[in-house]
């Protein structure tokens, strides 16, 4: 994935050198601050993994290893250089997806095609997951499932990761559905008039997002993921509230959408059976170890708050801080993406990265009512809420399938902020 994203970024750069597109200066001006902040973080991660740059802040494990092995090892900030380089490769791929999505999403035809494509893909994953689930096959493609039997995971191993992906797909499908319906329903009308408009052909045009809402919503419930379900529903209601209080749809139609979302949530909860209810009922017991994990992670972060232990090195780094409570299992993730990023890069880099996402998120909120194509901005807002909430108790954004989907959508939303006044840009 990283290879192909890198190839596409290079091809795009060459194309821009040969034939600079319109609005290039405006694009760079708008994206300049987030880009500079991001490369500050990247530069620090490179410093972490490069031997001997700043020996004074290197992790003491290198000195101890040199003494034990009897050889001179070059000191580094990171305790596992290979893991840091690998994690940086994925981070750069995420950034490449955002860059390409923001560049090519400025053109109206591209943006519509990109959103439609994502809805199609997320729907296909949901249909596959539902087929396997109701067929009773405990497999992922042709492999037997090794975990989460009885839960819908589609092609993901972890049900929580797919729940996040399904929630993003649900939000995108819902926004795309409203985008199609809003053209006919902006002026409101009686229930009979609205029904007539739908029967006259609107539903024919909206079949894909309608199927997407039904399949991804059902799949989300059948994952039996508590945090995924809650964060997904919050993201959906945020999108619907934005539609309700904007001029995109009539108040009556907005109320209808909110009522439909409530019915979908209730119906999906019922369809998922007793398993999700049972998991919600045992929320406190099953999450009892999480607060302790977070406290131990914070204790570790405070030991290297400025430098971190190396980006992507939570599993080997946390071994030093495991007590008897955590000794049974291998903890490869902190189950909190914010704490894990701080663990790897330190508080300063974490603060810079959060600043980037806050700037992007606030830019969405400032402009969503003034933009003619606010649907893409709402996709970014809702997806950010889903990922931001779920990242408090899970690590879904660290799964490339989820991370790429998220950066694709917020890049598409950001394109509507940095686009030229002429929305029909030619590339």
pLDDT on residue 84 = 97
302: pLDDT strictly greater than 70: yes
Q: Contact at 8 Å (CB) between 279 and 224?
A: yes
Distance CA 253, CA 323 (A): 55
340-376 exposure pattern, b = at least 16 Cβ within 10 A, e = fewer: bbbbbbbebbbebbeebeeebbebbeeebeebebbbb
Q: What percent of the chain has pLDDT over 90?
A: 51
Indicate the SS3 state at residue 254: helix
Angle between helices 347-367 and 24-49 (to 10 degrees): 160
Query: pLDDT tens for residues 329-339?
Result: 778 889 999 99
pLDDT on residue 283 = 45
123: pLDDT strictly greater than 60: yes
143 bridge partner residues:
140
Which tokens in the block code for residue 371?
A: 């933009």
- Its sign, for the CA torsion 297, 302, 303, 309, is positive
216: pLDDT strictly greater than 90: yes
Q: What is the pTM of this model?
A: 0.89
Q: Lowest mean pLDDT: which of 172-181, 284-293, 361-370, 395-404? A: 284-293
Query: pLDDT tens for residues 266-283?
Result: 665 665 545 555 554 444
Distance CA 51, CA 84 (A): 12
Query: pLDDT tens for residues 32-50?
Result: 999 999 999 999 999 999 9
């Amino acid at each position: 994935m990283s290879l192909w994203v890198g190839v596409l970024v290079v091809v795009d750069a060459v194309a821009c050198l040969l034939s600079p597109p319109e609005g290039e200066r405006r694009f760079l001006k708008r994206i300049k601050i987030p880009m500079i902040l991001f490369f500050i973080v990247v530069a620090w991660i490179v410093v972490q993994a490069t031997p001997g740059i700043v020996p004074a802040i290197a992790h003491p494990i290198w000195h101890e290893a040199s003494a034990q092995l009897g050889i001179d090892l070059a000191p580094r900030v990171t305790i596992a250089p290979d893991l840091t380089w690998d994690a940086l490769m994925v981070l750069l791929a995420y950034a490449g997806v955002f860059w390409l999505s923001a560049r090519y999403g400025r053109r109206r035809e591209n943006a519509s095609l990109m959103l439609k494509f994502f809805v199609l893909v997320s729907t296909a994953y949901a249909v596959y997951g539902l087929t396997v689930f109701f067929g009773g096959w405990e497999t992922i493609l042709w492999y037997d499932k090794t975990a989460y039997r009885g839960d819908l995971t589609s092609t993901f191993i972890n049900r929580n990761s797919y729940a996040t992906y399904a929630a993003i797909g649900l939000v995108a499908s819902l926004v795309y559905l409203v985008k199609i319906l809003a053209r006919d329903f902006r002026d409101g009308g009686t229930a009979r008039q609205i029904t007539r408009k739908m029967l006259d052909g609107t539903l024919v045009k909206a079949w894909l997002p309608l199927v997407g809402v039904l399949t991804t919503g059902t799949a989300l419930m059948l994952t039996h993921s508590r945090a995924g379900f809650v964060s997904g529903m919050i993201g959906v209601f945020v999108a619907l509230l934005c539609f309700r209080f904007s001029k995109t749809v009539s108040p009556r139609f907005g109320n209808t959408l909110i009522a439909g979302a409530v019915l979908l949530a209730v119906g999906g909860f019922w369809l998922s059976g007793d398993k999700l209810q049972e998991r919600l009922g045992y929320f406190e017991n099953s999450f009892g170890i999480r607060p302790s994990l977070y406290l131990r992670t914070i204790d570790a972060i405070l030991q290297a708050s400025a430098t971190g232990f190396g980006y992507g090195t939570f599993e080997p780094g946390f071994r030093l801080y495991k007590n008897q409570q955590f000794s049974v299992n291998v903890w490869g993730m902190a189950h909190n993406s914010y704490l894990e990023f701080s663990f790897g890069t330190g508080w300063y880099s974490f603060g810079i990265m959060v600043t980037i996402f806050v700037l992007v998120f606030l830019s969405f909120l400032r402009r969503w009512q003034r933009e003619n194509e606010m649907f893409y901005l709402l996709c970014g807002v809702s997806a950010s809420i889903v990922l931001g909430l779920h990242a408090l108790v899970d690590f879904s954004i660290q799964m490339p399938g989820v991370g790429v989907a998220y950066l694709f959508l917020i890049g598409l939303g950001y394109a509507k902020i940095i686009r030229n006044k002429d929305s029909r840009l030619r590339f």
